[in-house]
Amino acid sequence: MSHSEQIRALPEYIALTRARKKIVWPLSIAVVVAYFALILAIAFYPASLGAPIGDGVTSVGIALGLGIIIYCMVITGISVSYANRVIEPLTRAIAQKAGALK
């Protein structure tokens, strides 16, 4: 077995790829969907986006737009904190074991 095959057989490696899959694709799709949903809403429901919230002048669209900026920051925050908590211990364990495998 080559070195990389040995690493791939480690339980920590299997856990690592699973942990990554769990976060990477759902969050990527969450960003893509939110953004293109907004673009499509602008194209097809411009009047609803222009409607004011309550009695003020601030429109739904402005709130959604600023919301998406915050949303992007939150998603990177979630992803980094997950990586620090879950991914990092696994990669460290793998690096240690891989050193011993050589």
Partner 1 sequence: MKIKTLLAFSISLLAAAAWADAAPKPSINTTAIAMFLAFVVVTLGITYWAARRTKTTADFYAAGGGITGFQNGLAIAGDYMSAASFLGIAGLVYTSGFDGLIYAIGFLVGWPLVLLLIAEPLRNLGKYTFADVASFRLQQKPIRILAASGSLVTVIFYLIAQLVGAGKIIEYLFGLQYETAVIGVGILMTLYVTFGGMLATTWVQVIKAVLLLSGASLMAFLVLSQFGFSFEAMFSESVKLHAKGEAIMAPLAQKPDAISAISAISLGMALMFGTAGLPHILMRFFTVRDAVQARRSVFYATGFIGYFYILTFIIGFGAIVLLINNPNYFAADGKLLGGTNMAAIHLSHALGGDILLGFISAVAFATILAVVSGLTLAGSSAISHDLYATLVLKGVRDEKKEMRASRFATICLGIIAVLLGIVFENQNVAFMVGLAFCVAASANFPILLLSMYWRKLTTRGAVLGGALGLLTALVLVVLGPTVWVDVFHHEKAIFPLKNPAIFSVFIAFIGIWLFSILDKSANAKAEEAAFDAQFVRSQTGIGISAAAEH
Residues that bind partner 1 (CB under 8 A): 2, 4-5, 7-8, 13, 16-17, 20, 23-24, 27-28, 31-32, 35-36, 38-40, 42-44, 46-47, 49-52, 56-59, 61-62, 65-66, 68-70, 72-73, 75-77, 79-80, 83, 88, 91, 94-95, 98
Nearest to 87 by CA among 11, 18, 8: 18
| C-beta of 11 vs 66, nearer to partner 1 | 66
Q: Nearest distance from residue 65's CB to partner 1, in Å?
A: 4
Q: Nearest distance from residue 11's CB to partner 1, in Å?
A: 14
100 in Cβ contact with 7 (< 8 Å) = no
Nearest to 72 by CA among 35, 21, 23: 35
Main-chain dihedrals φ then ψ at residue 59, nearest 5 degrees: -90, 165
| C-beta of 11 vs 51, nearer to partner 1 | 51
Q: Compute the C-alpha angle 16/20/21, nearest 5°.
A: 115
Spatial neighbors of 43 by CB under 8 A, at least 6 apart, are none
Q: Nearest distance from residue 88's CB to partner 1, in Å?
A: 7
